[in-house]
A and B are shown apart, each in its own frame.
Chain A
Amino acid sequence: MTDAFTFQIDGVEVTAQPGQTIMEAADAAGIYIPRLCDHEGLRHQGGCRVCTVKAGGRSVAACTQPAEAALEVENDTEARRRVRRDLVEMLFHGGNHLCPICEKSGNCELQAMAYRLEMTAPTRFPWLEPCRAVDASHPEIALDTNRCISCGRCIRASQDLDGKGVFGYVGRGIHRRVAVNGADLAHTEAAGADLAMGVCPVGCILRKGEGFSVPIGERVFDDGLIGHEIEAKR
Chain B
Amino acid sequence: MAETRLIEISPVTRVEGHGKVTIHLDAEGRVDEARLHIVEFRGFERFIRGRLMWEVPVIVQRLCGICPVSHHLASAKAMDQIVGVDVLPPTAEKMRRLMHYGQVMQSHVLHFFHLSAPDLLFGFGAPAEKRNIFEVIRENPTLGLRAVQMRKFGQEIIEATAGKKIHGTGAIPGGINRNLPVEVRDRFLGQVEEMLVWAQDALALARGYVESHADMVAGFGTFPSSHMSLVREGDGALDLYHGRLRALDAGGAPIFDMVDYRDYHKHLIEDVRSWSYMKFPFIRALGAEDGWYRVGPLARMNTASFIDTPLANAAHGALRAFSGGLNHSTLANHWARMIEVVHCVEKIRELLQDPDLQGSDLVAKGERRFEGIGVIEAPRGNLIHHYRVDENDQVTFCNLIVSTTHNNEGMNRAVKAVAVQHLSSQPKITEGMLNHVEVAIRAYDPCLSCATHALGQMPLQVEIVDAAGAVIDRAGQCL
Given contact pairs A101-B62, A136-B393, A136-B394, A215 touches B169 in the complex (Cβ within 8 A): yes
Cα(A215)–Cα(B62), bound, Å = 18
Interface of A is mostly: loop
Q: Is B58 an interface residue (CB 8 A)?
A: yes
Q: Is B172 an interface residue (CB 8 A)?
A: yes
Q: Is B399 an interface residue (CB 8 A)?
A: no
B363 & A213 in contact (Cβ 8 Å cutoff): yes
A-B contacts, 23 of them at CB < 8 A, read A100-B62, A101-B58, A103-B54, A103-B58, A134-B51, A134-B394, A136-B392, A136-B393, A137-B392, A142-B392, A144-B52, A208-B52, A208-B393, A211-B54, A211-B55, A212-B54, A212-B172, A212-B177, A213-B177, A215-B178, A216-B162, A216-B163, A216-B164
A142 & B393 in contact (Cβ 8 Å cutoff): yes
A134 & B50 in contact (Cβ 8 Å cutoff): yes
Cα(A214)–Cα(B178), bound, Å = 8
Q: Chain B residues with Cβ under 8 A from A211's Cβ?
A: 52, 54-55, 172-173
Cα(A21)–Cα(B172), bound, Å = 43
Q: How far is the CB of A219 from chain B (nearest CB, A)?
A: 9
**Chain B 359-381 near chain A by CB (<8 Å), digits 1 or 0:** 00001000000000000000000
Chain B residue nearest in CB terms to A135: B392
Q: Chain A residues with Cβ under 8 A from B177's Cβ?
A: 212-215
Chain A residue nearest in CB terms to B167: A100
Cα(A209)–Cα(B393), bound, Å = 9
Cα(A174)–Cα(B168), bound, Å = 35
Cα(A209)–Cα(B363), bound, Å = 12
B168 & A216 in contact (Cβ 8 Å cutoff): yes
Q: How far is the CB of A138 from chain B (nearest CB, A)?
A: 8
Q: Is B59 an interface residue (CB 8 A)?
A: yes
Q: How far is the CB of B102 from chain A (nearest CB, A)?
A: 16
Q: Chain B residues with Cβ under 8 A from A134's Cβ?
A: 50-52, 394
A110-134 contacts to B (CB < 8 Å): 133-134
Cα(A144)–Cα(B393), bound, Å = 13
Q: Chain B residues with Cβ under 8 A from A206's Cβ?
A: 52
Cα(A214)–Cα(B59), bound, Å = 17
Q: Is B154 an interface residue (CB 8 A)?
A: no
A101 & B169 in contact (Cβ 8 Å cutoff): no
Binding site for A on B (CB under 8 A): 50-52, 54-55, 57-59, 62, 162-164, 167-170, 172-173, 177-178, 363, 392-394
Q: Chain A residues with Cβ under 8 A from B173's Cβ?
A: 211
B62 & A216 in contact (Cβ 8 Å cutoff): no
Q: Chain A residues with Cβ under 8 A from B168's Cβ?
A: 216
Q: Chain B residues with Cβ under 8 A from A137's Cβ?
A: 392
Given contact pairs A134-B51, A136-B52, A216-B163, A101 touches B59 in the complex (Cβ within 8 A): yes
Q: Is A217 an interface residue (CB 8 A)?
A: yes
Cα(A136)–Cα(B162), bound, Å = 27
User: Top 4 nearest A-B pairs by Cβ distance?
Assistant: A216-B163, A211-B54, A136-B392, A212-B169
Cα(A134)–Cα(B59), bound, Å = 15
Chain B residue nearest in CB terms to A136: B392
**Chain A 193-217 near chain B by CB (<8 Å), digits 1 or 0:** 0000000000000101111111111
Q: Chain A residues with Cβ under 8 A from B58's Cβ?
A: 101, 103, 212
Q: Chain B residues with Cβ under 8 A from A213's Cβ?
A: 172, 177, 363
Q: How far is the CB of A190 from chain B (nearest CB, A)?
A: 14
Chain A residue nearest in CB terms to B393: A136
Chain B residue nearest in CB terms to A184: B392
Cα(A216)–Cα(B171), bound, Å = 12
Chain B residue nearest in CB terms to A208: B393
Given contact pairs A136-B392, A211-B172, A213-B177, A103 touches B55 in the complex (Cβ within 8 A): yes
Chain A residue nearest in CB terms to B390: A136
Cα(A209)–Cα(B62), bound, Å = 21
Chain B residue nearest in CB terms to A144: B52
Cα(A206)–Cα(B55), bound, Å = 11
Cα(A213)–Cα(B172), bound, Å = 7
* Residue in B51, B163, B164, B394 whose Cβ sees the most chain A Cβ within 10 Å: B163
Q: How far is the CB of A91 from chain B (nearest CB, A)?
A: 21
* Residue in B55, B58, B59, B393 whose Cβ sees the most chain A Cβ within 10 Å: B55
Cα(A133)–Cα(B394), bound, Å = 11
Q: Chain A residues with Cβ under 8 A from B394's Cβ?
A: 134, 136
Q: How far is the CB of B156 from chain A (nearest CB, A)?
A: 14
B54 & A133 in contact (Cβ 8 Å cutoff): no
Cα(A101)–Cα(B172), bound, Å = 13
**Chain A 94-110 near chain B by CB (<8 Å), digits 1 or 0:** 00000011010000000
Cα(A135)–Cα(B259), bound, Å = 38
Cα(A136)–Cα(B49), bound, Å = 13
Cα(A103)–Cα(B52), bound, Å = 10
Cα(A81)–Cα(B228), bound, Å = 58
Q: How far is the CB of A142 from chain B (nearest CB, A)?
A: 6
Q: Chain A residues with Cβ under 8 A from B54's Cβ?
A: 103, 209-212
Cα(A215)–Cα(B169), bound, Å = 7
Q: How far is the CB of A76 from chain B (nearest CB, A)?
A: 31
